[in-house]
Amino acid sequence: MQEKMSLNSKIPINNSVSLGNDDEPINLFYPLIVLAKNKRRIIFMPIVAALLAVGFTLLMPNKYTATVQILPPQSQSGASAMLGQLGALGGVAGGALGLKNSADVYLGMLSSRTLQDRLIERFKLREIYETKTATDTRKALTAASKIAMSKTGLIVLEYEDKNPKFAADLTNAYVEELQKMTQIFAVTEASQRRLFFEKQLQQAKQSLADAEIALKQVQEKTGLIQLDGQAEAIIRSAADFKAQIAAKEVQLGAMRTFATSNNPNYQKLEKELSGLHAQLAKIETGMNRGKGDISVSTSNVPEVGLEYVRRVRDVKYSEAIFEMLAKQFELAKIDEAKEGSILQVMDYAVVPDKKSSPGRMAIVLSVFFLFAFFMVVLAFVREIFISIDVDPENNIQIKALRDALKWKS
C-alpha cells in the first residue's frame, strides 16, 4: 500500500482501494479530509453571503402583478350572403377579405408600438420610468409586461409594478386600448367588409360626380337637355317657321301685284319675313347655344343626341353602382356593430393583495448554495496547487510544460 501524508496535516492517508495491478490506488478519505481541513470557509463564507443577500433583498421594493384574461374570437361571422348579388365584384371582395382572425392578431396588437405609445401618453410613463427617450420607455413597459397565450386558449396579460393599484389600472388600460384599436382597424370579417365597401363607395361617389359634371358640360355645350322631347320640339319649331315664311312669301307676292316697295304694309311684311328667316337660321345653326337658349342645330341633332345619350348612360351606370355599394356598406356596418363585442374579457385586473417579487427566500438559498459549491471547489483547487508546489517531480513537469509552450524563434 502506498502511504501519503498531507502537507498541512500529519494524518496519514493510507486507506485506498486498488482498481487492478496497473492502476493507481484511489483514496476514499481524501475528499473528506480536504473538506474537513476547509470546513470553516465552506460553512461560514456561504452563511456570510446569505446574510448579505438577506440585507440586499430587504432593500428591494415589493412588486405586485396584476393579471387580465381575454377570450379571443373563436369563429368568424358568416354574414356575407349579400356578396353574391355583386357577381364579379363580390368575388373580389371575398378574396380581399380572406384573412381569418386569430388570437395572434390580438397578441400582435397588444405588443404594437401604437398601443404602447397610447399607454405611455395616458399614464405619463416617461416620468414614472424616468427615461429620456420614447424607445427606452417602450423597453421599460415591455419588460414590465408579459403577454402570452395560455394552454386554455385565453390571452393572459400581466403587468408588474411597485404600486398595486397602478398595476391593475394599467393592465385594464391595455384592454381598453385594444378595444379602441379593434374599432379603428379592420380586424373582424364584418369590419373588413365595411372597410372594403367604404373605399369602393368613395370611388363610386367620385365617379358619379365626374359623370354628372360631364353631362352638364355636354348640356351647356350643345344646349340639349332632354333628347326625345327637345329634339321633337326643335324640329316642330323649324317646321312652323318654314310654314310661316311660306305664308309670308305668298302674301308678299300677292302684294307686289298691287303695291310698290314704298308701301308701308309691304315694308312691314318684308321685315316680318326677314325676322322669320333669321329665327329659322338660328334654329338650324344653333347660333344662340350657350346664351340661355336651349335650341340645338337641326343638322347636329343626331350627333349631339349620340353624345348626350352616352353621358346620360354614364350617369345612370354610376348611380346604379353607387346605390348598390351604399346598400352593401350599410349591411356591413350593421354586421360590424353585431360583432363589436366579440372581444370578451374573462377576468379584469384587480388590485393584487400579495407581492409577486422579489422572492427573498429563493434568492438567499440560491446565494448560500452557490457560495457553498464555490468554496468546495476552491478547497480542492487550493489542495491541488499545494501538492504541486511540494512535489519536486511536479515542479520539473511544470517547467517542462512552460518550456514547451514558449514560441521558438
Say which residues have a Cβ less than 8 Å from residue 351's Cβ, sequence separation at least 6: 66, 164, 165, 167, 168
Q: Are 234 and 308 in contact (CB under 8 A)?
A: no
Cell of 121: 401618453
> What gap in Å lies between CA 390 and CA 383, rounded to an integer?
11
For residue 1, the model assigns a pLDDT of 38
For residue 19, the model assigns a pLDDT of 42
> Which among 159, 134, 141, 151 has a CA at the least distance from the CA of 64?
159
Does residue 337 register a pLDDT over 80?
A: no
Q: Which CATH class is domain 64-188+339-347?
A: alpha beta
Residue 231: which pLDDT band, with cuts at 50, 70 and 90?
Answer: low
For residue 264, the model assigns a pLDDT of 81
Residue 225: which pLDDT band, with cuts at 50, 70 and 90?
Answer: low
For residue 37, the model assigns a pLDDT of 83
Q: Say what percent of the chain tops pLDDT 90.
A: 18
Top pLDDT among 358 and 9 is at 358
Does residue 355 register a pLDDT over 90?
A: no
Top pLDDT among 2 and 195 is at 195
> What gap in Å lies between CA 62 and CA 58, rounded to an integer?
9
For residue 390, the model assigns a pLDDT of 66
Q: Are 68 and 349 in contact (CB under 8 A)?
A: yes
Say which residues have a Cβ less than 8 Å from residue 265's Cβ, sequence separation at least 6: 255, 259
> What gap in Å lies between CA 63 and CA 358, rounded to an integer?
7
Cell of 346: 374573462
Top pLDDT among 16 and 334 is at 334
pLDDT (tens digit per residue) in 12-41: 444 444 444 445 555 667 788 888 888 888
Residue 339: which pLDDT band, with cuts at 50, 70 and 90?
Answer: low
> Which among 274, 283, 204 has a CA at the least distance from the CA of 240?
283
Does residue 122 register a pLDDT over 90?
A: yes
Query: How high does pLDDT run on average in the chain?
Result: 74
pLDDT (tens digit per residue) in 91-101: 444 444 444 44
Weakest-pLDDT range from 160-169, 185-194, 298-307: 298-307
Range list of H helices, 14-133 = 30-37, 39-59, 88-96, 103-110, 113-123, 125-129
pLDDT (tens digit per residue) in 177-202: 998 887 777 566 667 777 778 888 88
pLDDT (tens digit per residue) in 35-89: 888 888 888 888 888 899 888 888 888 889 999 999 876 644 444 444 444 444 4
Range list of H helices, 124-163 = 125-129, 134-144
